[in-house]
Homo-oligomer: A and B are copies of this chain.
Amino acid sequence: MQETIVLRYGHRIARDFRVTSHCALVARAFGAKKIIICGAEDPALAKRAEKISKHWGGSFQVSFTDQWRREIEKYRSEGFKIIHLTMYGVPVTKKMKQIQKNKKLLIVIGSQKVERAVYDTADLNISITLQPHSEIAALAVFLDRLFEGKFLSKEFKNSKIAISPKEKGKGVLRQTG
């Protein structure tokens, strides 16, 4: 399985709390190892993600930086391919087989305004639809396709709780550790 890290370009405290939280939880649930948030350091957000991992398992990490270029170059030098998700990119279906051959991926997701240098520095600009929608959705669909659905019914290691799913009525939360 590819080692996958998400770089969230742009985060403003308070205003972006919910959207960036969704990005972090999606990254975790769909199999990324870490999210790096480029923007204001936001302890409440890191705490929220930490609390989710404590209960639901896994070893997902959150970090902050104000230097997106430095992060990209650092990961590039460690052998990561840089994939920027944007509606201006090539449809994911055309490139997924090629992408899956890489062992390490840094997935860059934007916010409303992403500077041109991000498009230029990425190894691949990939679109999840050619329409305006949501970086949260783009990340989820990309990771779902990258890992071919492996995370759709996964329980994480070291969880304290997990779900017993139910198609009629509400499923049940159960203790696992």
Which A residues fall within an 8 A CB radius of B?
18-19, 22, 25-26, 28-30, 52, 56, 86-95, 116, 119-120, 122, 124-134, 136-141, 144-145, 149, 151-156, 162-163, 165-172
Contact = CB atoms under 8 A, between A and B. Distances in A.
A125 to B, nearest CB: 6
B120 A169 contact: yes
Specify how many copies of this chain sit in the oligomer: 2
29 contacts: A19-B22, A25-B131, A25-B132, A25-B134, A26-B133, A28-B131, A29-B131, A29-B137, A30-B133, A30-B137, A56-B131, A87-B163, A88-B170, A88-B171, A88-B172, A89-B171, A91-B153, A93-B153, A119-B169, A120-B169, A120-B170, A124-B167, A125-B165, A129-B154, A130-B155, A131-B156, A137-B139, A137-B140, A144-B144
B29 A133 contact: yes
B56 A167 contact: no
Q: Which DSSP category, helix, strand, loop or mixed, fits chain A's interface? A: mixed
A147 to B, nearest CB: 11
A99 to B, nearest CB: 11
A120 B171 CA distance: 11
Contacts of A26: 133-134, 137
B88 A165 contact: yes
Contacts of A87: 163, 171
B30 A129 contact: yes
Contacts of A163: 87-88, 127, 130
